[in-house]
Structure 1
């Protein structure tokens, strides 16, 4: 089937909240250069960085106008010169800024075969959240079987990924969620203990659950007060992995406390690995595919939104009431 000359793409034409910043435009169909593939997009998972991109608050600041969207599932429809490890018709998942469109060009190295066990909505969110969780828990914190893992925002996209991977690794997981309504989602994902932020005593709850031992590993995409609480219930030789600051406050590192209590604070910028250690990306992909096919990873989809209403997905995500992923689905899905 011949490819069209143009496509629809959501573009940020001015900075602001997604509903105000985004415009659905007709743009020329991109062509893959050497080493790239053209993908017909089937679904795009909404991520908090998409909201930050719309606001102009993300660490990467593309020139206006630009297309947001950072991870997708789709079908390869054209190959650039020199691409030998992909074929037309491959169903793939991948990540790159600019995929909230009907077609997207990505480096062939940035896409990988979508697990057959997952549908489009589930597979769309497998790249960013699950690889972030995998690198945070396994590469940075070296999580061990039997250790206590504390996960903040445990009902969110990356938090649920960390819960799933923690359980798969044999850890005992404590989840912190933003409301009582989200608690059941965290329990269903495998949390042994669930604490509600603002209602439960986080520090006391962790100490009680662990018999005074504390959390061996903390996975923190929230920052601010969540990080501060974690420093008060971290175990001897514990590891706090700083993933982000979704709470809106970037905490100051208490170096003296780190020394006295003998714990580690580890930063995680997953986006650096594809360029610096692509070999580790391949390891993570293989492990995630294995776990998905074994039924150990079951991405939670809060709801799906059609492509024409994509700003609604980002608005819902920014509101903080969703659990798991919000996915933007194209008609071809």
Structure 2
């Protein structure tokens, strides 16, 4: 089979698209023919070798995907060949992946493979952060940094679903306008406006109740000074490349809390709860209450170019890689939709 392989750490262009041994399911494992795989900013750190959890190389990265079950190992009873599934395990930048059955979730009817590959990591992170760690409630004000990225945009949508007022930040007016159209109530361009003053104006000095921060870096001081009493700062990541030093006096003054969110570690400790999150998120997607935004699809062979585009901050939402099987399926779906449209027009 073909895969996007990391043979040595480096820039995205160091990845190679080549033959890779096809896996065989052992006891308790499931073999999945992948249609699509989602891309996330931590993927870039893994390829570079700077992620906080290392991996032995050569290897195939990619922590989320969607496809069809083609074989099951002994002892697997909850899946059968032909089942459409979400995959939450490393190795999804390939045409096939073999994973423990516990790393799969059945894909709900009505959700296509491209959308399915786009939401597991970002939406599970935002769902866990806002509901289970940040306790975001209807009527509260949520500040989302880095709102045009995959996880930031997921937080915007989930915040609105939960009934919060959502203020989104970024550094590009065009991207922020897209984020506004996708659900944010107000947006702040941090390149052209001082964050603290903008938040003071937008909240009439009351501050924000919850901050969702996958960026870190220089804005943390202004962010903490903009927290409402008993506010919650959710530390998601550091896409800025800077790990911020939190001034604890600001937490004390506001009786606020800083909360770390590590969806990978939490999922490993609570696999059943993580799978239930994905079931709950799928129900909202199927109902149209959440809409994963896929900016573009790439061929699996062009994964390095997609990662470079993410690194250059060119994307709003998510990029998804398609295998040959995924492209065939997507083309068939487009043809079926076209025929259905013509039928209605006739």
- The two structures have a TM-score, normalised by structure 2, of 0.92
Q: CA deviation at 1:259?
A: 1.0
Q: Contact 1:115/1:292 (CA < 8 Å) preserved in 2?
A: no
Which residue is 1:97 aligned to?
90
CA distance in 2, matches of 1:283, 1:97: 20
| Alignment length (residue pairs) | 326
| 2:13 counterpart of 1:9 | no
Is structure 2 residue 232 aligned with structure 1 residue 278? Answer: no
Spell out the pairing of 1:66-105 with structure 2 (5 A cutoff): 66-105=59-98
SS at match of 1:228: helix
Q: How far is the alpha carbon of 1:41 from its aligned partner?
A: 0.8
Deviations 1:61-91 (A, max 9, x none): 1122111111101111111111111111111
State the match for 1:36 in structure 2.
Answer: 29
- Describe the SS at the equivalent of 1:86: coil
Residue in 1 aligned with 2:120?
A: 127
Q: CA RMSD of the aligned region, Å?
A: 1.2
1:167-222 deviations in Å (ceiling 9; x for gaps):
10000000002200101221112111001121122112222111211110000000
Q: Which moved more, 1:243-252 or 1:96-105?
A: 96-105
Following superposition, the deviation at residue 260 of structure 1 comes to 1.8
Which consecutive residues of structure 2, in runs of 5 or more, have no partner in the other structure?
327-346
Structure 1 ranges of 4+ moved more than 4 A: none
CA distance in 2, matches of 1:108, 1:295: 28
TM-score relative to the length of structure 1: 0.95
Aligned to 1:3: none
Q: Tell me, what secondary structure is at the counterpart of 2:324? A: coil
Distance 1:229 1:73 in 2: 40
d(CA) in 1 for partners of 2:319, 2:238: 20
Structure 1 or 2: more helix by fraction: 2
Pick aligned residue for 2:39 from 24, 35, 46: 46
CA distance in 2 between partners of 1:29 and 1:59 (Å):
28
Distance 2:269 2:39 in 1: 26
